Homo-oligomer: A and B are copies of this chain.
């Protein structure tokens, strides 16, 4: 997964990576992602440029570590809190709200990183092949939240992809939300989840089942959904 890592993974080494990553995030917040350099990051981490390079060959490698760190923190949060959530609605709320909590301080950074999404082959594109493993990890959290539901495997895959897509869309909305404490984003998410629950229930009605099947075949045809 960690394509850029070139240093050891001992406790000391992981601690140093974390120190650089934290310094980088602070530097991105203070200076902005564009202006931050490996030199300014090393300085903020109080280490030599050479030592920083030993852990991260480029600023982009630090960003990949940031993506991985967000995903790992999110997975840990969800794993800890999911068992206590009673219903599907609560479980889905937990998964996406906790992701927004994690990202709340990083909206500007995420905005700067969105640039890579315009370059499909860039390893840091949110939608490109370089982040596929992270997307799969993220979708697994939605699959976990859905685990107790009795859905056909086909509908399960469609719902997981749709919820992951909803979480991406809500995060984009989040970047634009200037309401107090991002109230509008939280409201959009809650409303969209209430509707999602209703749509999942409706999938059982004969009137709508063919629509879900058609959506699934279409997404498979254009390779947005795998067939198995």
Contact = CB atoms under 8 A, between A and B. Distances in A.
Interface residues of A, number: 39
Given A184-B223, A207-B207, A195 B214 contact: yes
A198 to B, nearest CB: 6
B221 A191 contact: yes
A111 B126 CA distance: 13
A117 B202 CA distance: 35
Copies of this protein, total: 2
Given A207-B207, A215-B195, A222 B114 contact: no
Interface of A: 110-115, 117-120, 127-128, 172-173, 175-176, 178, 184-185, 187-188, 191-192, 194-195, 198-199, 202, 205, 207-208, 211, 214-215, 218, 221-224
B207 A191 contact: no
